[in-house]
Amino acid sequence: MQVVDVTRIRSRFSLAGHPQVVEMLCPHCLKEATFAIKGWSEHAGQLAVSETPCPRCNIGVMFLNLLDAPGEPTLYTHPDPVGRTSMEGAEYLRTLSGSLGRTYESALKHYNHGDWGTTALTVRHLLEGLATRLLTDTHHDASLATQLETLPQGVNLSAPLEDIADFLAPNGILGRQFYDETSIDQNTAQQLLELAEQLVAYLVVLPGTMAELKSRIATAPVPMRRGMTAA
**Which residues here bind Zn ion, judged by CB under 5 A?**
26, 28-29, 54, 56-57
Least Cβ distance, residue 83 to Zn ion (angstroms): 13
DSSP state of 226: T
The answer to whether 21 and 36 are in contact (CB under 8 A) is yes
Cβ 53 to Zn ion shortest distance, Å:
8
Closer to Zn ion by CB, 60 or 129: give it.
Answer: 60
Which CB sits closer to Zn ion, 79 or 98?
79
Q: How far is the CB of 2 from Zn ion (least distance, A)?
A: 14
> Shortest gap between Cβ of 30 and Zn ion (angstroms)?
8
Closest to Zn ion by CB, 26 vs 75, is 26
| Burial classification of residue 101, based on how many CB atoms lie within 10 Å of its CB (0-12 exposed, 13-18 middle, 19 or more buried) | buried
Task: Find the Cα–Cα–Cα–Cα dihedral 202, 208, 213, 214, rounded to 10°.
Answer: 100
Angle at 223 between CA 217 and CA 224, to 5 degrees: 145
Q: In this complex, which beta carbon is closest to Zn ion, that of residue 29 or of residue 49?
A: 29
Cβ atoms of residues 9 and 22 within 8 Å: yes
